[in-house]
């Protein structure tokens, strides 16, 4: 493989890999480890390219003292990278690896092409990654919409981060569509948008967990069905000629339960889940009391 193609792989493709390997719902430790490993591998490739370029230049009689010193500094950083990675210090490993990459780039500056053009495959990969990020933004927006217990202040903060991530993605797509030479900038913006999206998801995940609207509505339907079942039971007892001495009290209790359920439904519509839950608990207690009265009369 030519030097130009190897450098192309080193300085462009890695940016795409870095921002595409870790989905938002993955474990943070796995994301950090993957990111550190990629930066370390890139630094190692950069070293081999820099050494080869310097060896070629030295053969032509050029003074390579400064460049060799930069290589040595990069090697020292790369050793620190491996040590940090083995210890599980992935953030430090990634940081040292990027510093090592910088040293190697400086060492080979002027010795060969360092900014090759990006081919169509890279553009396609970046655009696909941008679309996947937009899909994740939509999913987080849906989850936020369904999370009724999130405070307005937190909801606004999360929405703001999602808006910001979307804006950055638009900039990334505009950059890569306008010029293939802008792939590095597009990849950088994509990574920035992914970080912002991850922050929004983390905020939502850590928000106080309260029953969502769907579950509350399902419980309300269950209570309504239970009330209907009890009314039908009372009617069957009357048709069988069973004397229900406390019929008036039973009917009053059933009406009370119905009113409580109706009030809970109104509170759900108004976004007052806490109030709705309180009414539902009282309705359930009322239904239980009614059931005990019916059973007491049925088996007399």
Asked if residue 224 has pLDDT above 80, the reply is: yes
On whether both 178 and 221 belong to a single domain, the answer is: no
Check whether 208 has a pLDDT greater than 90: no
**Contacts (Cβ under 8 Å, ≥6 apart) of 207:** 147, 149, 150, 151, 154
- Residue, of 248 and 3, whose pLDDT is higher: 248
Beta-carbon contacts of residue 280 (< 8 Å; ≥ 6 apart):
216, 219, 220, 223, 260, 261, 264
Q: Of 84, 116, 148, which one is at a domain's C-terminal end? A: 116
206 and 220 inside one domain = no
Host domain of residue 261: 213-298
Residues 205 and 224 in one domain: no
Indicate if the pLDDT at residue 4 is higher than 60.
Answer: no
Could you read off the pLDDT of 249-287 as tens digits, one per residue? 888 888 999 999 999 898 888 877 778 888 888 988 898
Q: Looking at residue 166, what is its pLDDT?
A: 93
The reply to whether 220 and 294 lie within a common domain is yes
CATH number at residue 241: 1.20.140
For residue 122, pLDDT beyond 50? yes
Q: What was the pLDDT predicted at 298?
A: 55
Closest by Cα among 242, 287, 235, 237 to 261: 287
pLDDT at 114: 42
Of 62, 89, 116, which marks where a domain is finished? 116
Q: Give the pLDDT confidence score for residue 26 in this predicted structure.
A: 42
More confident position, 111 or 36: 36
What is the reported pTM? 0.39
pLDDT at 150 over 90: no
Q: How confident is the model at residue 168 (pLDDT cuts 50, 70, 90)?
A: very high
Mean pLDDT of 50-66: 74
Residues 187 and 81 in one domain: no
User: In this structure, are 52 and 141 located in the same domain?
Assistant: no
Answer whether 89's CB lies under 8 Å from 34's CB: no
Tens-place pLDDT, residues 185-194: 777 787 788 8
* Predicted local confidence at residue 163, as pLDDT: 94
First to last CA, the chain: 94
Number of separate domains in the chain: 3
- Give the number of other Cβ atoms within 10 Å of residue 139's Cβ: 13
Q: What is the mean pLDDT of the chain?
A: 77
Mean pLDDT in residue range 74-93: 88
Q: Among 116, 131, 155, identify where a domain stops.
A: 116
Tell me: do 220 and 285 sit in the same domain: yes
Res. 16 pLDDT band, cuts 50 70 90: very low
Q: Scanning the structure block, which residue is given the tokens 């920035």?
A: 192
Q: Are residues 135 and 199 in the same domain?
A: yes
Do 150 and 172 fall into the same domain? yes
Same domain, 52 and 138: no
Stronger pLDDT, 293 or 116, i.e. the higher one: 293
- 110 and 56 in a single domain? The answer is yes
Whether the per-residue pLDDT at 90 is higher than 70: the answer is: yes
pLDDT category, 13, cuts 50, 70, 90?
very low
User: Mean pLDDT throughout 239-243?
Assistant: 67
Q: Which of 63, 59, 69 minimizes the C-alpha distance to 104?
A: 69
Residue 168 sits in the same domain as residue 202: yes
């Amino acid at each position: 493989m030519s030097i130009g193609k190897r450098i192309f792989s080193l300085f462009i493709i890695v940016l795409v890999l870095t921002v595409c390997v870790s989905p938002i719902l993955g474990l943070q430790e796995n994301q950090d480890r993957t990111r550190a490993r990629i930066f370390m591998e890139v630094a190692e490739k950069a070293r081999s390219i820099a050494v080869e370029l310097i060896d070629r230049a030295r053969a032509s009689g050029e003074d390579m003292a400064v460049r060799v010193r930069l290589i040595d500094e990069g090697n020292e950083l790369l050793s620190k990278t491996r040590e940090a990675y083995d210890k599980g210090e992935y953030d430090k490993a990634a940081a040292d690896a990027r510093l090592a990459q910088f040293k190697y780039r400086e060492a080979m500056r002027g010795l060969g092409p360092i900014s090759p053009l990006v081919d169509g495959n890279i553009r396609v990969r970046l655009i696909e990654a941008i679309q996947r990020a937009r899909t994740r933004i939509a999913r987080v927006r849906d989850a936020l919409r369904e999370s009724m217990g999130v405070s307005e202040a937190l909801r606004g903060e999360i929405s703001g981060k999602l808006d910001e991530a979307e804006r950055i993605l638009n900039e990334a797509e505009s950059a890569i569509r306008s010029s293939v030479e802008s792939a590095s900038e597009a990849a950088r913006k994509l990574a920035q948008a992914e970080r912002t999206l991850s922050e929004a998801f983390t905020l939502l995940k850590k928000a106080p967990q309260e029953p969502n609207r769907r579950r509350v509505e399902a419980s309300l339907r269950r209570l309504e069905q239970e009330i209907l079942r009890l009314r039908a039971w009372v009617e069957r007892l009357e048709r069988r000629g069973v004397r229900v001495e406390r019929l008036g009290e039973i009917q009053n209790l059933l009406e009370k339960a119905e009113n409580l359920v109706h009030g809970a439904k109104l509170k759900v519509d108004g976004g007052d889940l806490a109030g709705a839950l309180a009414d539902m608990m009282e309705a359930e207690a009322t239904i239980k009391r009614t059931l005990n009265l019916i059973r007491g009369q049925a088996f007399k």
